[in-house]
């Protein structure tokens, strides 16, 4: 396999739940450090890395609304939860000696930078890891949509969706032993088969802007590096 990376700039989408590891709530320091090391290997291979993180390990607007909180307020709480996760990722990355910048879609200047596209691109060009926080900054959206939006804005070559399974299956592999993994799918197939990969807004944005997506298992060390080096047998490619 070639050691020249196959991608110049990637966007990694991490759900809030992915940060919990085996915890019921919050952020696992083991997961954080593993993640930071994975990002480091990819960055050292010469790939520019941007991250979009979710907030589902802390708050989701939909869940809060079920408990009676106004939906928009709940979504704002969800977006603020992503800022906390982003700060934790920045901290883990900087602890191992890389530079990272959190950029938020909601202005919260004492804590992190505002999202300014040109500045984000400059950070990436300088080898800094950019962690996009607060989703799109708007209620009723998800951080999957934010990932597709930011990937489009920064002209990422690939979106990576980190999950706990090694790709997209015909059915839930934990429930159905017959479930088969797809190695490749088109965006239209994802939509027509109603596969729960990312929400439809995100899928449409990636499809319309021709940004490929690879779903992979973040708990398996070294997968991220293999993908950026051009491996085609890791996870599922959607394009």
List, as residue ranges, the binding site. Answer: 13-16, 55-56, 60, 75, 136-143, 163, 169, 172
Q: x/- binding map, residues 5-34, to ligand UDP, per CB under 6 A?
A: ----------xxx-----------------
C-alpha 75/C-alpha 137 separation (Å) is 9
Q: Tokens 């930078």 correspond to what residue?
A: 113
163: contact with ligand UDP by CB under 6 A: no
Q: Are the CB atoms for 227 and 167 separated by under 8 Å?
A: no
The backbone torsions φ and ψ at residue 33, rounded to the nearest 5 degrees and listed phi first, read -70, -40
- Segment interacting with ligand UDP (CB under 6 A) among 3-11, 77-85, 150-158, 165-173: 77-85
Q: What is the DSSP letter of 17?
A: G
136: contact with ligand UDP by CB under 6 A: yes
CB of 29 to ligand UDP, least distance (A): 18
CB of 130 to ligand UDP, least distance (A): 17
Q: For residues 216, 218, 224 and 225, what is the CA-based torsion angle, rounded to 10 degrees? A: -140
78: contact with ligand UDP by CB under 6 A: yes
Tell me the DSSP string of 41-62.
HHHHTT-EEEEEE--TTT--HH
Handedness of CA 86, 34, 18, 116 (dihedral sign): positive
236: contact with ligand UDP by CB under 6 A: no
Residues 82-121 that bind ligand UDP (CB under 6 A): 82
75: contact with ligand UDP by CB under 6 A: yes
Where is the binding site for ATP, in residues?
Answer: 13-16, 56, 60, 163, 169, 172
User: What value, to the nearest 5°, has the Cα angle with vertex 71 and ends 17 and 133?
Assistant: 45
C-alpha 89/C-alpha 202 separation (Å) is 23
55: contact with ligand UDP by CB under 6 A: yes
Q: What is the DSSP letter of 181?
A: B
Encoded tokens for 14 = 């991490």
Among residues 32, 35, 50, 79, which is the contact residue for ligand UDP, using CB under 6 A? 79
Q: Residue 79 or residue 98: which is nearer to ligand UDP going by CB?
A: 79
Sites of contact with ligand UDP (CB under 6 A): 15-17, 54-56, 60-62, 74-75, 78-79, 81-82, 135-136, 138-139, 141-144, 146
């Amino acid at each position: 396999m070639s050691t020249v990376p196959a991608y110049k700039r990637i966007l990694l989408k991490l759900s809030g739940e992915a940060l919990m590891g085996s915890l019921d709530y919050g952020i696992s320091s083991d997961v954080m450090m593993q993640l930071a090391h994975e990002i480091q290997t990819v960055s050292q291979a010469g790939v520019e890395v941007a991250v979009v993180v979710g907030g589902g390990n802390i708050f989701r607007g939909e869940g809060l609304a079920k408990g009676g909180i106004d939906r928009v307020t709940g979504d704002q709480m969800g977006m603020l939860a992503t800022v906390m996760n982003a700060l934790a990722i920045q901290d883990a990355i900087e602890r191992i000696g890389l530079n990272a910048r959190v950029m938020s879609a909601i202005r919260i200047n004492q804590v992190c930078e505002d999202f300014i596209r040109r500045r984000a691109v400059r950070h990436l060009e300088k080898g800094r890891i950019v962690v996009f926080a607060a989703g799109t900054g708007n209620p009723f959206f998800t951080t999957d949509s934010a990932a597709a939006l930011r990937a489009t804005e920064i002209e990422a070559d690939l979106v990576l969706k980190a999950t706990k399974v090694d790709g997209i299956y015909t059915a839930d592999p934990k429930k159905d032993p017959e479930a088969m993994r797809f190695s490749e799918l088109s965006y239209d197939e994802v939509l027509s088969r109603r596969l729960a990969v990312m929400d439809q807004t995100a899928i449409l944005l990636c499809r319309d802007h021709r940004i490929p997506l690879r779903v992979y298992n973040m708990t398996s060390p070294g997968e991220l590096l293999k993908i950026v080096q051009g491996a085609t047998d890791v996870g599922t490619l959607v394009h």
